Structure 1
């Protein structure tokens, strides 16, 4: 992920979340040296090529944290989120991480199912972590060994 990717990243972010990350947040992540990856798809019959998803990960002290992972609404259900997740976990391993962490909304059943299928387990709850329509939503903290 580079600065030129941000318009497409923001379009997906805004189509997905009630309170999306801002361009400034993404720019700060890149400036801090976090690893960002984008997934582009080739044009198929009747569809255009373009950015289908993105992810950001930070790594330090033997751990990595998946900060954001998202696929475009029209691209969901094709295994692209799994592909991005595995790519981010590989980045964590390359950075020396022995375990990976992330937060997920319990209401995001597709994401929860993906993370469980990829070996993540719940290790905690962050109460009121996410903004939600009409209030706040908890986050489940998930962890997976990388070694």
Structure 2
């Protein structure tokens, strides 16, 4: 039997749609990046990630009553050999604390398990306590620090690892 979360929804389930990004999604993704980060990913960098065989960009959308979908978040990750490397997770500021990040990370990790990965890695800003908390709740552990990883803000990154 599945446990129910506080909102009555079965654990591991969510009301969002998750799908792979296409080139047609670029305007919405750029808007999300700009709203989410001081230094958003450029359109050129996003295009390159779309074209790499080893890279995946997942979008989290919410279906609207009129049949349209609203972009809430995304994750960019690589699967190389037996490792998932998470490059970017973004949630629109007005939709944070709704489970968007958890939903997309659950999907990223499920894809890694499906591909028989043994390890997932990521870097997260030292100051991003909400993200660190999410990653710890998913089983990630801190294994080191990359000094000044976010060079523009001179902020360290915490390196986190999850063993599958």
| TM-score by shorter chain over 0.5 | yes
Q: Which residue of 1 aligns with 2:17?
A: none
1:60 corresponds to 2:80: yes
Question: Any residues of structure 2 matched to 1:1-147 within 5 Å, and which?
Answer: 1-33=21-53, 34-43=55-64, 49-132=69-152, 135-146=153-164
Q: What displacement does 1:65 show?
A: 0.2
Using the alignment, how far apart are the partners of 2:132 and 2:151 within structure 1? Answer: 18
Using the alignment, how far apart are the partners of 1:43 and 1:128 within structure 2? Answer: 41
**1:86-138 CA deviation, whole Å, 9 max, x = no partner?**
10111112223111000000101110110111111011111110134xx4101
TM norm structure 2? 0.81
Structure 1: gaps of 5 or more residues: none
* Count of residue pairs brought into register by the alignment: 142
Runs of 4+ residues over 3 Å off in structure 1: none
Paired residue secondary structure (2:151): strand
RMSD between aligned alpha carbons? Answer: 1.6
Structure 2: gaps of 5 or more residues: 1-20
Q: Between Structure 1 and Structure 2, whose CA radius of gyration is higher? A: 2
Using the alignment, how far apart are the partners of 2:29 and 2:116 within structure 1? Answer: 27
